[in-house]
């Protein structure tokens, strides 16, 4: 059904009227009183008062308590005469014109010093000092005077500036009569007169304390309350109530109103609904309705934990937001807030027959009279007459129904169809209370477990069976029709149907427990269907377990599953999912109802949430809002004809008006409640020296660097569900984002650097709404003295002076040392000149010796070659003259001569080369490395062929900048060395490869020959070193190779893993660019000479 403008207007009118009549006509027994469980100084509450900040002050017979919504701060009787209460029994609490809290006790007057957060005796001046010994019953501040009523000595008027004191004692009453000087209340009147109520009589007096009129109260008066400008309610000790009309000068009724026979009326307070609350001694709490003069009464009910805690009500107080506080004898303080619980909770009460039969609520249905039928699991069927607030029970246990387990309800005119577990369904006549049972034994019902029932627009009854599939009953033919649903997922028939819905177009929707949702299509009496499930790409559903199928007033189809909420798009025939990721309270959806304003109310397994589809915003509700629990049942949701919403769960059900469930937008004041340094509370003017006033009274504090650990506690001042308030804070100058800390009420900082900071604190209200209620505290951390500016200035001056002194002394010392140094330099210079001459002479002599060595080396090598050639030639002639066959030893000797000559020739040749190394200049040019290695290969090719050694030369070796002939000599030496020391390898191999970097070129000559140990590697490039006795050579080849490489600015090294594991030579040459002069052109003969 579409929502219309008329229905919206009607709904809102009903909401307003329901809100009004729900309290103004309420029975006191239905009110829920909530006790304050925080510890208090004493549980007999004599007085209650709300101050200008919103603190609740609670007076007891043993001190006074300040309540901030979370905890009480206790102030008790003083042990001296300077601080604390003058007496612990509190009689009256009052706030004067300046906002100072005044406290009347059984002995004297006290005030609360807000700056220091202490209570101290009132500072009476001059003659006013005598008042301090009085029993103060009443306090009023009018202009510049305090009017103080006492228990025995009448009335005092004290001028607060001059100390002038006036005193009025009323005429003493007769013996055993009420005391005329025991003041009950003082009421200022519009004409500057005062209406004074005493225990015995009432008086009208003027400013000069002159009695203008005397009124007989008729009885012993115990309380008084002004209603409007001219009505005064007087409560009597015998339980009667008198109403005095000031304008008429008479009591309203000839006969007093009996409120509570024999029970004194100790306290009176007017609420916001036009009722006067009357607290009695042992007679409970009474309510007088001003509109019609009726009186109701409630007393302590031990079976009801929400009743008043005691029948002796000693004090009453209404706060600015209309909450009524009740102070009792010995049972502390409780309060009634009609807006405290947004949700009315209905639950079973084992002590009350007129209550719900069982707490597990499964279903709802409403009759045309507005009565609510409630199905339970274990308690059968309940009928709730909401007007009379009376429950009627129908169950197997009572004997008037065939089952205790009701799962679903639906109306067919005046017949209520009841689906049950185990007994089929029951057709219940709500008028006669007769019923008819249909099950598998007497009908074509496929299962006795009925999960859901639906009457469609054609009068057919749809039946969702557990493990029995889907059936439809046709009343016209009285036949059952089985509707087969086949899953496209597993190609199997659906047996467990959970939810049923007929939309505005007459389409039947079926929700299942395992296969999602089916949309039935009827054509010519035949049924087909579309399926929506979580494995489909086109017909996607967030989960296949369906808990809710419903249609809102705008025609939208909603499917609630175990894994999210889904909205149907009729144009595209697809679902859109809403989950926790979108802000949903829980993915397990148990119920959904739309209110008259278009909000969706959703029950889950974690409470209730309100969803505004247009903005996507959620408002969450929990047990603090009056919910029956966190979890709700999947079939238990309903909207009544007057637009109340009902959700059922395992602990009863909630029924509420959506307007009353709106979140509050109040912004509680954030207070600073404590400052702790090293976990010790800081008080004004204590040893820390930080505070001169209470922490909440200051905007800034200064801490020493020694206070390295400090803690600031804070609270939001709210008397409503303070435990639900959430906090956030950050310290500007130290951090730049809010710390959201839940209900934690403190911030701790350690080892802050010196400087200026600002602490920001904010909170939500009790409904979780964040407010712009930031409390700021400026914090300055002073540095240690050695980091202050003045210490820095002194230190700078000292250092500068010290530097100057040191500089002056050093200059004098330097000048003296300079003279000594100059003398020493002169002497040393002469000595160096002498040494220089000697060195030059020695250098010249060494140069001549080197040249002589070179000439000698050339001469020796030249002269040795001739006789060596002669010896070899003669040895070649011997075979011509001597038959070697006849002298076999001769051939051996000749071979030895040839070998020795060749060895000597090689040695002489190498010595010549060594001599030339230092004389030949490198003729560097760009060289193709592959061509150079090929030329070197030509010199050893024969040896490679003879020894069957494979050679692998990588292609495209890098270009180098070097002397061509010397590089040929380097590579030929390395190849020759590899051939010599190849050993007996089965597959001898030599590899030549290279790599180039930005700065150098590295060649590698690798063989798999005999290798060498670490000791041999260390001597490898030394002259005349040989490492194998069977290998010929002078031992100078690798030495000369290294000299050539070094002369090119390079380096050579070798690596081997050990004998028999081959050797790798690494030749590194600089990657020199053209134009850079070779700085390794010559080699000094000094090295050769030293050999």
Q: Are 629 and 620 in contact (CB under 8 A)?
A: no
Kindly report the three-state secondary structure assignment for every residue of 676-694: EECCEECCCCCCCCCCCCC
pLDDT at residue 15 in the model: 37
| CA 366 vs CA 163, 382, 432: distances in Å | 71, 12, 17
* Nearest in space to 374 (alpha carbons), one of 399, 398, 348: 348
Q: Does an H or E element contain 1043, and which?
A: helix 1037-1047
Rounded CA Rg of the chain: 55
Helix, strand, coil distribution of the chain in percent, nearest 5: 20, 35, 40
Tens digits of per-residue pLDDT, 889-899? Answer: 777 677 667 66
Kindly report the three-state secondary structure assignment for every residue of 712-739: EEEEEECCCCHHHCCEEEEEECCCCCCE
CA 345 to chain centroid, in Å, comes to 32
pLDDT at residue 815 in the model: 87
888 pLDDT band, cuts 50/70/90, is: confident
pLDDT at residue 542 in the model: 93
Q: Which of 152-161, 425-434, 585-594, 788-797 has the lowest mean pLDDT?
A: 788-797
The encoded tokens of residue 672 equal 């600073």
Q: Are 237 and 220 in contact (CB under 8 A)?
A: yes
206 pLDDT band, cuts 50/70/90, is: very high
Give mean pLDDT, residues 161-169. 95
Please work out, in degrees rounded to the nearest 5, the angle formed at the alpha carbon of residue 117 by the alpha carbons of 112 and 120.
40
1087 pLDDT band, cuts 50/70/90, is: very low
Q: Are 367 and 355 in contact (CB under 8 A)?
A: no
Its pTM stands at 0.68
pLDDT exceeds cutoff 70 at 106? yes
**Measured between alpha carbons, how far is 996 from 956 in angstroms, rounded to an integer?**
11
- Within 8 A by CB and 6+ apart from 185, the residues are 138, 149, 196, 197, 223, 224, 225
* Nearest in space to 99 (alpha carbons), one of 149, 162, 141, 60: 141
pLDDT at residue 1088 in the model: 30
pLDDT at residue 341 in the model: 87
* Nearest in space to 983 (alpha carbons), one of 916, 874, 1056: 1056
Number of neighbours of residue 452 by Cβ within 10 angstroms = 26
Give mean pLDDT, residues 13-39. 59
Q: Are 242 and 233 in contact (CB under 8 A)?
A: yes
CA dihedral 90, 94, 95, 97 (to 10 degrees): -140
681 pLDDT band, cuts 50/70/90, is: very high
398-401: long-range contacts (C-beta < 8 A, 24 or more apart)? Answer: 400/433, 401/426, 401/428, 401/435
pLDDT exceeds cutoff 70 at 862? no
pLDDT exceeds cutoff 90 at 448? yes
Superfamily of domain 227-339: YVTN repeat-like/Quinoprotein amine dehydrogenase (2.130.10.10)
**Measured between alpha carbons, how far is 766 from 769 in angstroms, rounded to an integer?**
7
Tens digits of per-residue pLDDT, 831-851? Answer: 888 888 888 887 777 767 666
- Identical fold, 669-787 and 920-1090: no
pLDDT at residue 865 in the model: 63
pLDDT exceeds cutoff 80 at 9? no
Alpha helices (H) along 138-272: none
**Measured between alpha carbons, how far is 1078 from 1083 in angstroms, rounded to an integer?**
13
**Measured between alpha carbons, how far is 183 from 492 in angstroms, rounded to an integer?**
87
Q: Which of 154-163, 210-219, 526-535 has the highest mean pLDDT?
A: 154-163
1026 pLDDT band, cuts 50/70/90, is: low
CATH topology of domain 920-1090: Heat Shock Protein 90 (3.30.565)
3-class secondary structure, 66 = strand
Please work out, in degrees rounded to the nearest 5, the angle formed at the alpha carbon of residue 910 by the alpha carbons of 905 and 914.
150
Number of neighbours of residue 826 by Cβ within 10 angstroms = 9
pLDDT at residue 677 in the model: 95
Percent of the chain exceeding pLDDT 90 equals 62
The encoded tokens of residue 620 equal 């969450």
The encoded tokens of residue 1040 equal 């000369």
The encoded tokens of residue 832 equal 């160096």
Tens digits of per-residue pLDDT, 417-436? Answer: 999 999 999 999 999 999 99
pLDDT at residue 1031 in the model: 59
- Could you report how far apart the first and last alpha carbons of the chain are, in Å? 117
The encoded tokens of residue 516 equal 């999602």
Tens digits of per-residue pLDDT, 940-989? Answer: 887 888 888 999 999 889 999 998 888 888 988 889 888 888 888 888 99
pLDDT at residue 508 in the model: 96
Q: Which residues pair with 727 in a beta bridge?
A: 742, 763
Give mean pLDDT, residues 824-836. 86
pLDDT at residue 733 in the model: 95
Tens digits of per-residue pLDDT, 330-376? Answer: 999 999 998 888 899 999 988 888 899 999 999 999 999 999 999 99
Q: Are 341 and 361 in contact (CB under 8 A)?
A: no
* Nearest in space to 525 (alpha carbons), one of 453, 458, 447: 458
pLDDT at residue 883 in the model: 73
Tens digits of per-residue pLDDT, 389-420? Answer: 899 999 999 999 999 999 999 999 889 999 99
Transcribe 620-684 into DSSP letters: EE-GGGT-S-S---TT-EEE-TTS-EEEEETTEEEEE-TTTTPPP---PEEEEEEEEETTEE--T
| CA 813 vs CA 6, 554, 806, 817, 818: distances in Å | 109, 102, 10, 6, 8
pLDDT at residue 910 in the model: 56
The encoded tokens of residue 902 equal 């060749």
pLDDT exceeds cutoff 50 at 577? yes
pLDDT exceeds cutoff 80 at 175? no
Q: Are 401 and 382 in contact (CB under 8 A)?
A: no
902 pLDDT band, cuts 50/70/90, is: low
Q: What is the mean pLDDT of the chain?
A: 88
Pairing label, strands 469-474, 479-483: antiparallel
**Measured between alpha carbons, how far is 199 from 761 in angstroms, rounded to an integer?**
50
**Measured between alpha carbons, how far is 388 from 195 in angstroms, rounded to an integer?**
44
* Burial status of residue 790 (CB atoms within 10 A of its CB: 0-12, 13-18, 19 or more): exposed
pLDDT at residue 546 in the model: 96
**Measured between alpha carbons, how far is 33 from 46 in angstroms, rounded to an integer?**
18
Give mean pLDDT, residues 545-565. 96
**Measured between alpha carbons, how far is 103 from 93 in angstroms, rounded to an integer?**
5
Half-sphere exposure of 860 toward its Cβ, with a 13 Å CA cutoff? 14
* Burial status of residue 1014 (CB atoms within 10 A of its CB: 0-12, 13-18, 19 or more): exposed
Q: Where are the domains of the chain?
A: 227-339, 669-787, 789-896, 920-1090
**Measured between alpha carbons, how far is 1033 from 1011 in angstroms, rounded to an integer?**
17
The number of residues in the chain equals 1091
**Measured between alpha carbons, how far is 472 from 475 in angstroms, rounded to an integer?**
10
The encoded tokens of residue 299 equal 């007393």
Its CATH architecture, for the domain 669-787, is Sandwich (2.60)
pLDDT exceeds cutoff 50 at 467? yes
Pairing label, strands 989-996, 950-953: parallel
Q: Does an H or E element contain 841, and which?
A: helix 789-881
Give mean pLDDT, residues 548-569. 95
Residue 366 — left, alpha, or beta (φ > 0 → left; ψ -120 to 50 → alpha)?
A: beta
The number of helix segments (H) and strand segments (E) in the chain equals: 8, 73
Q: Are 1035 and 1050 in contact (CB under 8 A)?
A: no
Half-sphere exposure of 1012 toward its Cβ, with a 13 Å CA cutoff? 20
């Amino acid at each position: 059904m579409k929502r219309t403008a008329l229905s919206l207007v009607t709904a809102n009118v009903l909401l307003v009227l329901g809100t009004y009549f729900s309290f103004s006509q309420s029975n006191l027994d239905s009110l829920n009183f909530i006790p304050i469980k925080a510890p208090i100084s004493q549980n007999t509450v004599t007085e209650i008062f709300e101050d200008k900040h919103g603190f609740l002050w609670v007076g007891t017979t043993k001190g006074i308590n300040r309540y901030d919504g979370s905890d009480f701060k206790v102030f008790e009787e003083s042990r001296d005469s300077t601080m604390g209460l003058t007496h612990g029994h509190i009689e009256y609490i009052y706030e004067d014109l300046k906002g100072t809290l005044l406290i009347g006790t059984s002995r004297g007057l006290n005030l609360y010093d807000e700056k220091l957060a202490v209570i101290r005796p009132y500072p009476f001046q001059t003659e006013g000092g005598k008042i301090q010994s009085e029993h103060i019953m009443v306090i009023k501040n009018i202009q510049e005077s305090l009017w103080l009523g006492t228990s025995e000595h009448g009335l005092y008027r004290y001028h607060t500036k001059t100390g002038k004191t006036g005193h009025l004692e009323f005429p003493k009453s007769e013996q055993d009569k009420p005391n005329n000087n025991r003041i009950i209340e003082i009421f200022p009147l519009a004409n500057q007169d005062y209406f004074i109520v005493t225990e015995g009589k009432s008086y009208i007096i003027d400013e000069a304390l002159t009695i203008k009129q005397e009124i007989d109260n008729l009885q012993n008066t115990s309380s008084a309350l002004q209603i409007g400008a001219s009505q005064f309610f007087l409560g009597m000790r015998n339980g009667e109530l008198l109403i005095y009309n000031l304008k008429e000068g008479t009591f309203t009724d000839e006969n007093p109103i009996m409120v509570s026979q024999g029970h004194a009326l100790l306290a009176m307070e007017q609420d916001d609904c036009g009722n006067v609350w009357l607290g009695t001694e042992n007679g409970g709490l009474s309510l007088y309705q001003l509109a019609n003069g009726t009186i109701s009464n409630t007393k302590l009910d031990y079976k009801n934990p929400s009743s008043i805690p005691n029948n002796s009500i000693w004090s009453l107080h209404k706060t600015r937001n209309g909450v009524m506080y009740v102070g009792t004898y010995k049972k502390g303080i409780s309060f009634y807030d009609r807006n405290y619980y947004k949700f009315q909770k209905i639950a079973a009460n084992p002590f009350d027959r007129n209550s719900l039969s069982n707490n597990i609520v499964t279903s709802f249905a409403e009759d045309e009279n507005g009565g609510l039928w409630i199905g339970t699991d274990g308690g059968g069927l309940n009928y709730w007459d909401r007007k009379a607030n009376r429950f009627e029970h129908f169950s197997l246990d009572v004997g008037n129904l065939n089952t205790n387990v009701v799962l679903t309800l639906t109306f067919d005119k005046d017949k209520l169809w009841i689906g049950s577990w185990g007994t089929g369904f029951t057709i219940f006549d709500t008028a006669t209370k007769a019923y008819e049972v249909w099950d598998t034994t007497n009908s074509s019902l496929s299962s006795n477990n009925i999960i859901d029932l639906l009457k469609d627009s054609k009068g057919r009854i749809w039946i969702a069976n557990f493990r029995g599939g889907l059936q439809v009953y046709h009343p016209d033919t009285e036949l059952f029709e089985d509707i087969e649903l086949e899953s496209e997922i597993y190609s199997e028939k659906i047996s467990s149907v959970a939810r049923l819905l007929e939309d505005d177009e007459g389409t039947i929707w079926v929700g299942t427990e395992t296969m999602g949702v089916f949309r039935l299509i009827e054509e010519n009496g035949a049924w087909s269907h579309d399926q929506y499930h979580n494995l489909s790409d086109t017909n996607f559903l967030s989960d296949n377990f369906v808990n809710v199928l419903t249609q809102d007033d705008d025609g939208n189809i909603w499917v609630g599953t175990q894994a999210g909420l889904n909205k149907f798009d009729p144009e595209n025939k697809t679902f859109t999912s809403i989950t926790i990721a979108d802000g949903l309270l829980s993915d397990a959806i148990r119920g959904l109802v739309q209110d008259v304003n278009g909000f969706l109310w959703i029950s889950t397994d974690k409470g209730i949430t309100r969803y505004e589809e247009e903005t996507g915003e959620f408002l969450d509700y929990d047990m603090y809002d009056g919910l029956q629990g966190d979890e709700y049942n999947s079939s238990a949701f309903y909207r009544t004809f007057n637009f109340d919403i009902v959700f059922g769960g395992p602990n009863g059900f909630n029924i509420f008006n959506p307007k009353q469930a709106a979140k509050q937008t109040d912004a509680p004041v954030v207070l600073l409640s404590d400052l702790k340094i090293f976990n010790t509370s800081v008080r004004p003017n204590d040893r820390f020296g930080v505070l001169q006033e209470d922490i909440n009274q200051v905007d800034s504090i200064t801490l020493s660097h020694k206070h390295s650990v400090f803690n600031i506690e804070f609270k939001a001042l709210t008397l409503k569900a303070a435990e639900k308030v959430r906090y956030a804070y950050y310290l500007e100058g130290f951090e730049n984002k809010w710390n959201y800390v839940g209900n934690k009420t403190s911030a701790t900082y350690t080892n802050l650097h010196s400087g200026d900071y600002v602490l920001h604190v904010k909170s939500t209200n009790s409904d979780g709404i964040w407010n712009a209620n930031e409390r700021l505290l400026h914090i300055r951390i002073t540095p240690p003295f050695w980091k202050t500016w003045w210490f820095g200035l002194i230190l700078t001056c000292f250092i500068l002076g010290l530097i100057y002194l040191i500089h002056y002394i050093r200059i004098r010392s330097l000048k003296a040392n300079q003279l000594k140094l100059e003398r020493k330099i002169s002497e040393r210079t002469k000595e160096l000149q002498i040494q220089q001459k000697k060195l030059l002479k020695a250098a010249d002599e060494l140069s001549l010796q080197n040249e002589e060595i070179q000439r000698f080396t050339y001469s020796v090598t030249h002269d040795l070659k001739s006789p060596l050639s002669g010896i070899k030639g003669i040895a070649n002639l011997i075979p011509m003259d001597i038959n070697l066959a006849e002298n076999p030893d001769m051939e051996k000797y000749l071979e030895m001569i040839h070998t020795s000559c060749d060895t000597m020739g090689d040695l002489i040749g190498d010595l010549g080369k060594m001599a030339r190394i230092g004389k030949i200049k490198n003729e560097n040019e760009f060289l193709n490395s592959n061509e150079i290695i090929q030329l070197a290969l030509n010199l050893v090719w024969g040896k490679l062929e003879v020894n069957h050694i494979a050679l692998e030369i990588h292609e495209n070796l890098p270009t180098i900048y070097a002397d061509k002939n010397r590089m040929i000599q380097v590579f030929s030496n390395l190849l020759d060395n590899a051939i010599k020391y190849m050993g007996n390898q089965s597959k001898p191999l030599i590899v030549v490869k290279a790599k180039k970097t930005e700065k150098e070129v590295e060649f590698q000559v690798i063989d798999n020959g005999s290798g060498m140990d670490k000791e041999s590697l260390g001597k490898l490039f030394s002259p005349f070193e040989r490492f194998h006795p069977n290998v010929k050579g002078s031992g100078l080849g690798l030495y000369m190779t290294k000299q050539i490489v070094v002369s090119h600015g390079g380096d050579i090294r070798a690596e081997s893993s050990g004998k028999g594991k081959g050797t790798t030579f690494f030749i590194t040459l600089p990657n020199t660019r053209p134009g850079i002069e070779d700085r390794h052109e010559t080699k000094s003969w000094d090295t050769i000479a030293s050999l």
